[in-house]
Amino acid sequence: MSKGLPKRSEDYSLWYNELVKRADLAENSAVRGCMVIKPYGYSIWEKMQAQLDKMFKETGHSNAYFPLFIPKSFLSKEASHVEGFAKECAVVTHYRLKNSDDGKSVIVDPDAKLEEELIVRPTSETVIWSTYKNWIQSYRDLPLLVNQWANVVRWEMRTRLFLRTTEFLWQEGHTAHATRQEAIDETVQMLNVYATFAETFMALPVVKGVKSANERFAGAEDTYCIEAMMQDGKALQAGTSHFLGQNFAKAFDVKFATKEGGLEHVWGTSWGVSTRLMGALIMAHSDDNGLVLPPKLAPIQVVIVPIYKTDEEFDKIANKANEITKKLLTKGVSVHFDKRDTHKPGWKFAEYELKGVPLRIAMGPRDLENNTIEVARRDTLSKETVDLAQIQIEDYVTEMLDKIQETIYQKAFDFRKEMTTEVNTWDEFLDKIESKGGFLSAHWDGTSETEEKIKELTKATIRCIPLDQNEEQGNCILTGNPSSGRVLFARAY
RNA sequence: CGGGGUGUAGCGUAGCCCGGUAUCGCGCCACAUUUGGGAUGUGGAGGUCGUAGGUUCGAAUCCUGCCACCCCGACCA
């Protein structure tokens, strides 16, 4: 393990790349654009999955699994959907290999061409709606509330670990409803689930909003999103929830018999979050010493590091550490006692800081003598010596973990507030987007042309039209045309 | 796919202009002393210099093709 991470202030993206690798989260793989998620990184993802899955079940959804491959013809059934994804699809054309004539390599067998090519799913609306056609006949079959955990492939030009990879892991919810309003309610409900998850578990404040037409999901009538602010002032879309209208129902002819005896197309939604959340988590909280993980998602919440010279000392410390571990386990705290004698305490301190373990307890001869421990917080890097006679260790630790969770959130919240600027003139817009970055709250005339033009000139896009937008008469930042409310602009990942 | 760059030990690099079988740091192994913020010393292991060909007595170094990766642009969760 080499020392010293690059500094965020010097090279933010280098800092990010190095951190991801050195903290053992993920690395590049033999396959271009695809990553290997390492055990430590994957265990954070598993914690996210477990919590989200619980929240999906609590809102009445069930998991299912649909195939990786989609017949090519399915994709083209919904016009804007195919347009949105066609350029980034991996295509399976053959089903067999054979030895080359010189016997030295393996080649695609030209005789094994598929009659209809298969695409590797970039998202599953089409296979799922083709299936829903068979599942839905009557209003009694509705609503249909399904989620799947899966991998998808989008052939991207430029990739970055977690933020944009060719293959990524995600969940995609796909629901069908009898009425427009019910589908919209579902869309908003899942957006709220995502927002709650981000804020409560990831300690990541998010703005809930609606996408402009330019940024809308291919095939959706409306795309809702949660947008987060990273430490370099760039925005990151952390989750999306789409109101599909009857688009896919019409494309795949999914109709249901109403109570009144009519026959109508069903209303759909889809919503997803991906391993991109890992990127958000890293970029929102971490510092120049390494990861900073919110306790609710940290694979190890507390690490105990012994400091000792003799075996005898170690045994005493180990006894005490085991005592503490047992007490913490009764409160469901995940503890790791690092008894390796192959590394020195100072090395371990740096290592656990790099990996973002929220709380570190160190115990040495002095502590044995005084019945104390040294407690260090990862988020503030502060240390204090605690007298074990004065506290209940399990209560002390759980309270401390809650405090850390809260502090991390508050810090990110304050940062986002600081990085959200109201701008009222085009000059101000140009100045702020260059000098400060962050969210720029500005009036917009509501047209795609204006949005395009602004993107062209500044690389900033409309991240969303906030759901809590205030009615406010104003003039478009670029064109001066009338506008009835502010939207959020930012440069984005 | 355009423009630029880089491939030398597990990782990061020097050497390349000016040809003579490869430098340094981290890591790894052994032993000793160490252990309250990334220990120190001594000894050791590890390399078809991305790949194929060419020039040459001799190529990491010069020439050509190919491959991979990185950065910058157009596309995107």
CA distances from A300 to A280, A337, A342 (A): 19, 10, 20
Q: What is the mean pLDDT of residues A187-211?
A: 98
A45-59, A186-200, A448-462: the lowest-pLDDT one: A448-462
Point out the nucleotide closest to A17 (alpha carbon to C1′).
B70
Which chain B positions come under 7 Å from a protein C-beta? Answer: 1, 11, 25-27, 34-39, 68-77
Q: Are both A206 and A345 inside the same structural domain?
A: no
Separation in Å: B17 C1' and A11 CA: 31
pLDDT band at A74 (very low <50, low <70, confident <90, very high): very high
User: Do A179 and A252 fall into the same domain?
Assistant: yes
Closest nucleotide to the alpha carbon of A362, via C1': B36
- Residue A307 vs residues A11, A318, A356: alpha-carbon distances, Å: 36, 10, 20
Are A360 and A316 in a shared domain? yes
The whole-angstrom distance between residue A422's C-alpha and the CA centroid of its chain comes to: 27
A190 in the same domain as A250: yes
Give A32's pLDDT tier (boundaries 50, 70, 90).
confident
**What distance, in Å, lies between the first and last C-alpha atoms of chain A?**
29
Tokens of A235: 């925005």
The whole-number Å distance from A342's CA to B46's C1' is: 22
pLDDT at position A6: 84
pLDDT at A2: 45
Element (H, E) at A176: strand A167-177
Distance (Å) of CA A391 to CA A396, A440, A482: 7, 47, 62
pLDDT given at position A158: 82
Which has the minimum average pLDDT: A304-308, A377-381, A435-439? A435-439
pLDDT: which is higher, A212 or A2: A212
pLDDT in tens, A284-294: 999 999 999 99
User: Which residue approaches B37 most closely, CA to C1'?
Assistant: A346
pLDDT tens across A78-132, in order? 988 888 888 888 888 889 888 777 666 778 888 899 999 999 999 999 999 999 9
Contacts 24+ apart (CB under 8 A), A427-432: A429/A458, A429/A477, A429/A489, A430/A457, A430/A458
- Strand nucleotide closest to residue A2 (CA to C1'): B26
Structure tokens belonging to residue A192: 């709220």
Average pLDDT, chain A: 94
Question: Protein A47 CA to nucleic acid B73 C1', in Å?
Answer: 38
- Please tell me what DSSP assigns to residue A462: E
Provide, in whole angstroms, the distance separating residue A340's CA from nucleotide B29's C1': 18
Instruction: Looking at the structure, tell me whether residues A244 and A314 fall in a common domain.
Output: no
d(CA A67, CA A64): 10
Same structural domain, A438 and A393: no
Output the six-digit token pair for A212: 């402009």
Token pair belonging to A255: 């109709």
Number of domains comprising chain A: 3
pLDDT in tens, A229-270: 999 999 999 999 999 999 999 999 999 999 999 999 999 999
Residues of the domain holding A131: 12-68+127-285
What is the interface pTM, i.e. ipTM, of the complex? 0.87
Over residues A431-471, the pLDDT tens digits come to 999 889 999 999 999 999 999 999 988 989 999 999 999 99
Report pLDDT for A7: 84
Q: Do A207 and A224 contact (CB within 8 A), yes or no?
A: no
CA distance linking residue A251 with residue A89, whole number of Å: 20
Query: Does A47 share its domain with A192?
Result: yes
Distance of C1' in B1 from CA in A1, Å = 38
* Digit-coded pLDDT (tens) for A473-489: 999 999 999 999 999 99
Between CA A347 and C1' B26 the distance (Å) reads 14
Residues A252 and A221 in one domain: yes
| Closest nucleotide to the alpha carbon of A223, via C1' | B77
Mean pLDDT of A2-9: 76
CATH number at residue A51: 3.30.930.10
